[in-house]
Chains A and B, each alone.
Chain A
């Protein structure tokens, strides 16, 4: 393709193995990440007598069903079975596995970048919708289903139709207590949970440039909650600094060649996007969700929506969500009593997230119980070195091992029916954290504020006079 190109165009063109006449392309996959959910896919290829085509480009990790406590003995046979099946499948096909006892185990979207498995300029897929996280490196990264996982295992390629191009530019300045999670929930509330459907989102602008890799990953992670299968950010010095020296990152002359290639990746100034949206970060306040879709998000200073005051088309939906969430229309969000907190998940359990939460919790006591599950065993070790574990435990929260945990509850970490949880995760869907569980999504700092007050609360006053890392 000639003419001005976007970052996404460049990445796509570099991976296009075969373009079919009908608009679909067969794309080369540089990295394939698999977790316990891959059992359908391994069975599919074995039924056909096929092998994993490129085991050295495939990486396995135990995360979705990983116990966060008592790992030595897994009582639930179904959970044990899921983990054993992944262990067997990866061993049989010569795929590297980060198992439960590996000091680098963690959530797939945390350890990919952490190990240097994820790099700029690559195409990364995983049977998990939050694979968009890896786009933070200037990477085409997207979630796929089981049939597609089987296809990638067998061929190291995937058929895709080129998505439309969308850019979200974030201008202004982030104020204290406001971060990537708030930006993401902000645009999703504005454009809708299907606002980016069919599009690859490039995040751009000064605020994005100023974000750390952790913040960029949070932003790209949540793309799927706005309907975007892909979210990406052009690589820069921040990216290279993060990548250099990681286990699987290139070294020496190969590193120099990589830098040369990566520096060519950006979007041309005159490239056109099918959609161009912008957001002013200076206007963003800390955000919480009130309903059962990530689009049901409002600043903490707002009130619970009143179904009688929303457009007709939305009335039933709002009523249904408030009914599930047991919230009273018109009441301030702030002050809503919660039962528990959860800090974890591939959205917000990296070291910076834990530092933010600890900055609020230091020297304070949580009024409600809660779990803190770091994004990886390495994040856990780092946090312990910094003494963050003491902060959480002194506040009365549980400090547990790494995994998806209460984000999806597959390992048994569940919110009980009817209980209200302030959570750093990504989905407030009905039943996501357990049947009848009521989830409010927010940033790690806001979850810490909720823990300290026992209610939905504005973190900003709690940060006064504190150094929020």
Chain B
């Protein structure tokens, strides 16, 4: 995953609250291998009718790289496929008053920014986008969204900010700590044998 520190692109408003991960990608598409691309499945049931015909949805008219959505975006299932669908569609930033916790960490693991915006600023931005898609500038380093000479600060956990900017992969980071981990495991096995399946004596019944 490559890091990034600023992004400019077209933004679209999806005003609804609680856009959950079941809506972002319906379960029936989840047996698809990632290599096939998940972009077509993004919000599928909202974008296509039962016969697979495109309906009048904002994402059928525009291909935004920024989404502005209502509160509790990405709530529900832990399916990372919801983030794959956004990323494969070309979305780089989602701006909302709040996000599902698991969705937000999945997003960061895929270079997608979940930017939290206070209610008043969110309303301002929603108003700006109410008519049509418009370009926004998102600065990850200063944690600011700007348009039309206005600048709105967004919230993001500092650990996630660093990770997005550097494009860190957690497995790489953690591998520097493998000795500490095995030391911890050995100590736990010695002092809390009960924490191993069957008490760590290897004699568990089946």
Q: Which residues of A contact B (CB under 8 A)?
A: 17-18, 20, 22-24, 26, 28, 30-31, 37, 40, 43, 48, 50, 54, 56-57, 65, 78-79, 81-82, 117, 119, 121-122, 127-129, 142-148, 150-151, 154-157, 159, 161, 163, 192-194, 197-198, 224, 227, 229, 247-252, 254-255, 257-258, 261, 292-293, 295, 316-317, 320, 408-410, 417, 427, 429-432, 435-436
Contacts of A197 in B (CB 8 A): 72, 98-101
Known: A17-B181, A145-B109, A227-B100. A28 touches B16 (CB 8 A): no
Q: Is the CB of A227 within 8 A of B72?
A: yes
Q: How many residues of B contact A (CB 8 A)?
A: 64
Contacts of B60 in A (CB 8 A): none
CB distance from B177 to the nearest CB of A (A): 5
CB distance from B78 to the nearest CB of A (A): 4
CB distance from A19 to the nearest CB of B (A): 11
Q: Is the CB of B180 within 8 A of A18?
A: yes
Q: Is the CB of A145 within 8 A of B83?
A: yes
Contacts of B184 in A (CB 8 A): 17, 28
Q: Which of B5-13, B138-146, B189-197 is near enough to bind chain A?
A: B189-197
Cβ-closest chain A residue relative to B195: A30
Q: Is the CB of A18 within 8 A of B197?
A: no
Contacts of B83 in A (CB 8 A): 145
Q: Which residues of B contact A (CB under 8 A)?
A: 15-18, 20, 22-23, 26-28, 30-31, 34, 45, 50, 70-72, 75-81, 83, 98-102, 105-106, 109-110, 157-159, 162, 170-171, 173-175, 177-178, 180-181, 184-185, 188, 192-201, 204-206
Q: Is the CB of A427 within 8 A of B76?
A: yes
Contacts of B81 in A (CB 8 A): 40, 146
CB distance from A119 to the nearest CB of B (A): 7
8 closest residue pairs by CB, A with B: A258-B194, A250-B199, A145-B106, A254-B199, A147-B109, A145-B80, A146-B80, A194-B72
Q: Is the CB of B199 within 8 A of A255?
A: yes
Cβ-closest chain B residue relative to A65: B31
In Å, the complex CA distance between A408 and B99 comes to 22
Q: Is the CB of A254 within 8 A of B78?
A: no
* 8 Å CB contact of B26 from A30, A193, A316, A435: A435
